[in-house]
Structure 1
């Protein structure tokens, strides 16, 4: 094998993204983002939305009981929509609002980092309040899905194929 063909092959391996593999990227994003949102929603639901309403009241959110239930619904239903890739653009709007509210009312005062190791006692790590890093990562992932689409293995992708076939 010549040096130039070995260099071309290495460049291809490092930088080229075969279409058959890159098609999986939206699915990975959807599973992580949607699954994460659903986890947060179920955690609030299992602890009792009243507890979350108390937190919302403490930070001055109006109608905290209503907003607690609305947040739980957005996280669970929006997360599910993202996981299956259904109405991703529409579902992303309230999810982005939830993230922005969390960022500016809760996480911003604690800085960027989401991992603040405070101490280790008896082999157990103790962490401080998380910053807005994870909020930004979720926002970036949602924006990527909106801009690039939910991918071929999604409800949105199936609708798009049906529309293309009908033309």
Structure 2
């Protein structure tokens, strides 16, 4: 009885359902843009350059995986931005993230921002940990489970098919 009273008071601070339906939009914008930016960076430098990085990490089929990673980031990022087919595109996107986590970021610990030194020339940063990878994975999982929200291609398609 007391717990339900507490919950009703907490609900007063929650967003109304009509507003909450828009909550996925900022997540989609951040995750989608982040993937597009990384994919575009690989494409503009040439996926062969990323393939060389994968080769030094000992990843098998580095050139093929460089192209596939670039495509996953570009297509997946665009789909997330549009709010389309997120449960489908999130699987290869999560594979890319988990691959990056275990091949590069895990050895550097959790934190993404590490001050190595502060000099008169400015701050020097150390290698990036897996914090941001986990945030991207959390964003993808949230969108895949909770849906892309009202302002999405999926919502438009759903309304047209109804």
For the residue of structure 2 that corresponds to 1:61, the secondary structure is: coil
Mark the structure with the bigger radius of gyration: 1
Say if 1:63 and 1:11 are closer, same or farther in 2 by CA, change over 3 A. closer
Query: What residue number does 1:57 align with?
Result: 55
- The CA distance in 1 between the partners of 2:151 and 2:144, in whole Å, is 15
For the residue of structure 1 that corresponds to 2:151, the secondary structure is: coil
Gaps of 5+ in 1: 1-7
Query: What residue number does 2:98 align with?
Result: 100
Say if 1:98 and 1:11 are closer, same or farther in 2 by CA, change over 3 A. closer
For the residue of structure 2 that corresponds to 1:120, the secondary structure is: strand
Q: Does 1:31 align with 2:29?
A: yes
- After TM superposition, the runs of 4+ consecutive aligned structure 1 residues lying more than 3 A away are 8-11
Superposed CA RMSD in Å reads: 1.7
TM normalised by structure 2 equals 0.89
- The CA distance in 1 between the partners of 2:121 and 2:26, in whole Å, is 33
TM normalised by structure 1 equals 0.87
Total equivalences in the alignment: 155
For the residue of structure 2 that corresponds to 1:27, the secondary structure is: helix
- The CA distance in 1 between the partners of 2:11 and 2:145, in whole Å, is 27
Equivalent position to 2:150, from 149, 152, 156: 152
- The CA distance in 2 between the partners of 1:134 and 1:55, in whole Å, is 20
Displacement, 1:126?
A: 1.4
For the residue of structure 2 that corresponds to 1:114, the secondary structure is: coil
Gaps of 5+ in 2: 1-7
